[in-house]
A and B are shown apart, each in its own frame.
Chain A
Amino acid sequence: MLDPTGIFDLPNTSLIFWEIITFLILLGLLYWFVYPPIRDQIQQRQRTIEQSIDEAEKTRKEARELLQEYREQIKEAREEGRQIREEARQEGEAQRERAKKDAREEADRIVARAREEIQRERESAVREVRQEVTGMVIQASEQILGRSIDRDEHGRLISDALDELEADVAAAGSRSGR
Chain B
Amino acid sequence: MMGALAFMQVSQEELKKEILHTWETGRDWAIPIQIGPVDISINKAVWFMFFGAAVTFLLLFVGSRLLKSRPGAYQVIVEELYGFGRNQLAGQMTQEGQKFLPFTLSLFVFILVLNLIGLVPGAYPVTSNISFTLGLAAFAVITYNFVGIKRNGLGTYLKSLVPPGMPAKPIMVPFMFFVEGLQQFITQPLTLAMRLYANILAGHLIIFVFLGLILYFGALSVVPLLSVPMAVVFYAFEIFVAFIQAYIFAILTQVYIELAMNAGEDH
Query: Chain B binding site: helix, strand, loop or mixed by DSSP?
Result: helix
Q: Residue B187 at the A interface, CB < 8 A? A: no
Residues of B near A16 (CB, < 8 A) are 131-132, 134-135
Name the B residues within 8 Å of A9 (CB-CB).
23, 26, 45, 129-131
Q: Give the distance to chain B from A65, nearest Cβ to Cβ, in Å.
A: 32
On chain A, the residues within 8 Å of B83 by CB distance are 42
Identify which of residues 14-32 in chain A touch chain B, using a CB-to-CB cut-off of 8 Å: 14-20, 22-23, 25-27, 29-31
B42 touches A14 (CB 8 A): yes
Given the known A-B contacts A12-B129, A29-B57, are A38 and B49 also in contact in the complex, defined by CB atoms under 8 Å? no
At the interface, is chain A mostly helix, strand, loop or mixed? Answer: helix
Find chain B residues with CB under 8 A from A39 CB: 82
The size of the chain A interface, using a CB distance under 8 A, is 37
A-B pair number, CB within 8 angstroms: 130
Q: How far is the CB of B115 from chain A (nearest CB, A)?
A: 15
Beta-carbon contact of A15 and B132 below 8 Å = yes
Q: Is B163 an interface residue (CB 8 A)?
A: no
Please give, as numbers and ranges, the residues of chain B lying within 8 Å of A26 by CB-CB distance: 53, 56-57, 106, 110
B33 within 8 A of A: yes
Q: Tell me the B1-28 residues at the A interface (CB within 8 Å).
A: 20, 23-27
- Judged by a CB distance under 8 angstroms, whether A5 is at the interface is yes
Q: Is the CB of A30 within 8 A of B60?
A: yes
Extra pairs beyond A6-B27, A23-B106, A34-B61 (8, CB < 8 Å): A8-B130, A14-B40, A14-B45, A30-B56, A30-B60, A30-B61, A39-B82, A42-B79
